[in-house]
Amino acid sequence: MKRLACALALGSAALVAHGHQDRLLTLADDGAVPGLPAEYAATRLKIEFDRMRPDRVVGIVLTVPGHETRVPPCLLQKILPSSKDRVVLKGSWYHDLSLMPPYVDVSIKADPPASKQSTEEGVELLFSLRDAKLISARRWVTTSGRYGPGSTSSPLKCDWIGQRPGSPIAAGRERQLRSSLPTRDGPGAGAELGHDKASSSTREEAAWALAGRLR
């Protein structure tokens, strides 16, 4: 997993070095992303806000043919109060794919607090358009100060990440994650974590693979 993280970091750095810019996208009410090319036209992104608390994100699901990823509750809880009109969607599929897979970038800006208008923060989720896997999850903060704008970014992680598989805490947290995700039988079972295998062992490996990617 460390090698994967290093490869993604190097890929991101290379894209920046080459002056790469993501393309701004839009999100339709049915979850379609009209700006994607025909190859990825079947992609669907669903962002659900709580009916009782409309500033709270309670579900994010990305679906591509044969794959589906649901952002786990432990990450959804890290998203600050926001609204649909503060979701920014970008993507890229025209860069060097040996550095990074084609991706869609979901940035959810937090509602600005009345006392800190010069500060903006949010959460950025990066998904692969190939298999819907969650590549990275980060919190970012941008400030406008006397000497110009500044920004910081840090990885998001679930509170239980870091516990080794097989330990009582790890087993309990993994069961909690799995119980919060819908299950289904037949082809595609277990795809909630970005995998399309049906066996229990594969789902367990998928859960910990996700945890490793978010460290």
Range of the domain at 128: 2-160
Residue 194 included in any domain: no
User: In this predicted structure, what is the pLDDT of residue 172?
Assistant: 56
In 3D, which of 93, 103, 85, 74 has the Cα closest to residue 47?
Answer: 85
Poorest-pLDDT segment among 110-114, 120-124, 136-140: 110-114
**How far apart are the C-alpha atoms of 36 and 44, rounded to whole Å?**
11
Residue 19 included in any domain: yes
Q: Do the beta carbons of residue 99 and residue 10 sit within 8 Å?
A: yes
Number of domains in the chain: 1
In 3D, which of 50, 102, 127 has the Cα closest to residue 81?
Answer: 50
Residue 39 included in any domain: yes
Map 162-180 to HEC letters. Answer: CCCCCCHHHHHHHHHHHHC
User: In this predicted structure, what is the pLDDT of residue 118?
Assistant: 74
pLDDT digits 0-9 by tens, 114-134? 555 678 899 999 999 999 999
pLDDT digits 0-9 by tens, 27-44? 999 999 999 999 999 999
